Amino acid sequence: MSLPPDLIPEPARPDLDAYFERIGYSGSTSPTLDVLAALQRLHPAAIPFEAVDVFLGRPVDISPAAVERKLIGARRGGYCYEQNGLFKRVLTALGYQVTGLIGRVQWQVAEDAPERPRTHMALKVRVRGNDWLADVGFGGSTLTAPVLWMLETPQTTPHGTYRLVAKGPETVLQQEVDGEWMRVYTLSPDPQIDVDYLPANWWSSAHPEGHFRKNLIAARSPEGMRLNLLNNRLTVRPVDGEPVRRQLDVDGLERCLADDFGLPVEPDWRPALVRAVENGEQA
Amino acid present at 202: W
Listed residue (26, 32, 150) closest to 91, CA to CA: 32
Active site annotation includes 135? yes
Distance of CA 93 to CAs 14, 31, 65, 255, Å?
8, 9, 15, 36
Listed residue (1, 89, 79) closest to 44, CA to CA: 79
Annotated active-site residue in 43, 61, 80, 159: 80
Residue-wise DSSP of 61-104: --SHHHHHIIIIIS---B-HHHHHHHHHHHHHHHT-EEEEEEEE
Annotated active-site residue in 53, 135, 159, 194: 135
The C-alpha atoms of residue 180 and residue 233 are separated, in whole angstroms, by: 25
Q: Which helix (H) or strand (E) holds 185?
A: strand 180-187
Distance of CA 1 to CAs 4, 5, 6, 193, Å?
10, 12, 15, 22
Annotated active-site residue in 61, 120, 159, 256: 120
Active site annotation includes 256? no
Q: Which helix (H) or strand (E) holds 45?
A: helix 33-46
44, 223 in Cβ contact below 8 A? Answer: no
The C-alpha atoms of residue 147 and residue 281 are separated, in whole angstroms, by: 38
Listed residue (67, 211, 209) closest to 138, CA to CA: 211
Neighbours of 16 (CB within 10 A): 14
**Which residues on neighbouring strands pair with residue 99, listed in sequence order?**
124
Active site residues: 80, 120, 135
